[in-house]
Amino acid sequence: MNAAPTPQPGIMEIELYQGGASKVDGVTDILKLSSNENPYGAPESARIAAAEATQVMHLYPNTDHASLRAAIAEVHDLDPDRIVCGVGSDEIIHLLCQAYVGPGDEVLHTEHGFLMYAISARAAGATPVKVPERDRTVDVDALLAGVTEATRLVFIANPANPTGTLLNGQDVVRLADGLPDGCLLVLDGAYAEFADDFDGGLGLAQHRENVFATRTFSKLYGLGGLRVGWGYGSRAVVDVLNRIRGPFNLSNVALAAAEAAVRDRDFAARCVADNTVQRARLRKGLAGLNLPSDPSAANFVLARFADEAEATSCDAFLKSRGVIVRHPKSYGFPDCLRITVGDAAGVDRLLEGIAAWREQ
Ligand code: PMP
């Protein structure tokens, strides 16, 4: 038999992304708090729009996403021509790497940063470079010190995953100002809506050529399964990404649901308000169980255990009761569990589970 070709350099160094379980054998009543999904699901408006869009599933979708971009632009007060839509923000990250880096180039990201940055950098043949954090928060000085002549892209998630910490506006500006020409700062705002008075860097991306912001419909808008994300930046960057993305990357159903969801401002406002209340309850409850966490600006909390064995044991105990949380070992936090903020009943059930684990 003839051999298949060898993959491009770097590809076999990619560690397969571990999505985590969504089922537990023998348990029917599952509470999934492992992927930062919206505990209320998708808005009703999006479900209706998605169902209607199935009527045209035999037709190719629009390639320019004009209607969705117009809705996003209206809600966020942006220029629709500077928005690019992708199959989740994962695809936007991927496109940025494909477009701007290759062998010999470096992609900077924080020590515990979102795993896709390194995966997409390697897939493009570039070298991902991890930069240390300070107190589980982005360290701007360390990032600036890590920049070399080969650096083309710098990724930070703000709020960060898996810590939930927020880098303040002045520090983000300092980072953008400190980067050399030809280096793009990507502000990943997957959780931006959950932070108080925060635009996720859209304002910065509006005025600076070297800043690009990404957003997703997977978290606040409850559309993780439909895969819609978007990016905002200069016309030049958006033009580049549009040239290389699949022309029909978003389905009719995904486009319709996302447009309805972004226009549903009441749903978003209710979910953000509820997240703020439940997040505080969750952190307080965890603290009462001797599990400290940093203030979170996102829809999850990173609970710190005494050591890896404790985190592993609690994770397994919760799972046996149908409560699935994330043990972020691959992010470099083996002694922590990342817990999505649920609705009131979800927070109660999680805290009861941890209390029962403590008492066993
Ligand atoms: N950025 C961060 C920081 C994330 O946590 C996630 C989802 N886990 C994403 C981007 C990608 O989200 P999606 O592809 O669903 O838009």
Atom of ligand 1 nearest to the CA of 93: 10
> Can you give the pLDDT at residue 19?
77
Give the DSSP letter string of 26-82.
Answer: TB-S-EE-SS---TT-S-HHHHHHHHHHGGGTTSPPPSS-HHHHHHHHHHHT--GGG
What region does 158 belong to: left with phi over 0, alpha with psi -120 to 50, or beta? beta
Tokens of 339: 């817990």
- Ligand 1 midpoint to CA 240 (Å): 22
C-alpha distances in angstroms, 14 versus 11, 85, 110?
6, 25, 17
Residues in the ligand 1 pocket, defined by CB under 6 Å: 88-90, 114, 157, 161, 188, 190, 216, 218, 224, 229
Amino acid identity, position 281: R
In order of start, what are the domains of the chain with their CATH numbers? 16-41+266-359 (3.90.1150.10), 44-263 (3.40.640.10)
> Can you give the pLDDT at residue 22?
86
Pocket perturbation via mutation, ligand 1, pick of 161, 187, 299, 330 by most ligand atoms within 8 A of CB = 161
> Can you give the pLDDT at residue 254?
98
Q: Which residues in the chain land under pLDDT 50? A: none
> Can you give the pLDDT at residue 331?
87
> Can you give the pLDDT at residue 282?
98
Pocket perturbation via mutation, ligand 1, pick of 91, 110, 116 by most ligand atoms within 8 A of CB = 116
> Can you give the pLDDT at residue 208?
96
C-alpha distances in angstroms, 61 versus 51, 68, 95, 242, 298?
15, 12, 20, 15, 33
Residue 111, number of CB atoms within 10 A of its CB: 15
- Ligand 1 midpoint to CA 88 (Å): 7
> Can you give the pLDDT at residue 3?
94
> Can you give the pLDDT at residue 92?
98
Tokens of 49: 């729009």
